[in-house]
Amino acid sequence: MGRARADRGAVTVETALVLPILLFVMFGIMEIGGSLKSYSATAGAVRSAGRVATVAGADPMTDALVLASVAQELGTDRSSAQLVVIWHATGASDPVPAGCLPSQPFTANTSSVGVSDGGTDALGACNVYVLPPGASGAFAMAEGSATQPASYYFGCQGASDPAAAHKLDCNWPGKNRRAVTSPRTTAGTPDPTDFVGVYVRVLHSYYTTMFGSTLTITDRGISLIEPQGYDTS
């Protein structure tokens, strides 16, 4: 009897020592797995959005297409998106311009936010979409599930557009972006094609608090707009 009680006591002590370690490892794996999933979703969203932006080129509705792509690729992480920035980059290694990164606390925008191109497709111009999730956020506007169709919020023709007050892409309108025609015409070499950058910021929430409460995940990608159309003149 005494030996049995001693064995049970030893098992209890061993369990008390080992269980916290096992729980720490289990929850650690769960947290790391969740973080990697959010990292992967963010990176995938940036890559997909970059492809959309380069193919759409100077289409006035380019930003709507880009946002819809980001929302789709983020999947379950779309509700954690804080920022989507689409900017005119100088090259493949260009950082996001400081003026295109609003300070916190963030407030969802219902009009254009960012740096204006002045109507001349200036470098560093950007459209910023703050807190795009939600029933009335930029994702819903782009997907056509907001109160108005996507064309109500996107497709700005510039600062003089009569509808500029409720359009979100007036700082760098899609129509202002330069894209060469393929093949190049014999009349001369057109202006260089634009580099377009896409930046996504997601606030991942941890399941437990062992690593903190949230993790900010960002990624960006820059691509050269592809030739548009086909002109043999």
pLDDT tens, the chain, 233 aa long: 555 555 555 667 777 777 778 877 887 888 889 999 999 999 999 999 999 999 999 999 999 999 999 999 999 999 999 999 999 999 999 999 999 999 988 999 999 999 999 999 999 999 999 999 988 999 999 999 999 999 999 999 998 999 999 999 999 999 999 988 765 444 445 567 899 999 999 999 999 888 899 999 999 999 999 887 655 44
191, 19 contact by CB (below 8 A): no
Q: Could you tell me the residue range of the domain that residue 77 belongs to? A: 2-230
pLDDT at res. 221:
97
Region label for 15, one of left (φ > 0), alpha (ψ between -120 and 50) or beta (otherwise): alpha
User: Structurally, how many domains does the chain consist of?
Assistant: 1
Q: Could you identify the residue written with the tokens 């090259």?
A: 91
Backbone torsions φ then ψ of 64, nearest 5 degrees? -65, -40
Residue 222 host element (H or E): strand 214-224
Q: Select from 121, 106, 146, 10 the least CA-distant residue to 57.
A: 121
Could you give the CA distance from residue 180 to residue 212 in angstroms, rounded to a whole number? 48
Q: Report how far residue 223's alpha carbon sits from residue 50's, in angstroms, rounded to the nearest whole number.
A: 6
| pLDDT for residue 187 | 45
Helix (H, G, I), strand (E, B) or coil at 144: coil
H/E/C letters for each residue in 79-105?
HHEEEEEEEEECCCCCCCCHHHCCCCC
What pLDDT score was predicted for residue 67? 98
Give the whole-angstrom CA distance, residue 158 versus residue 116.
Answer: 9
Buried b (16+ CB within 10 A) or exposed e, 217-229: bebbbbbbbebbe
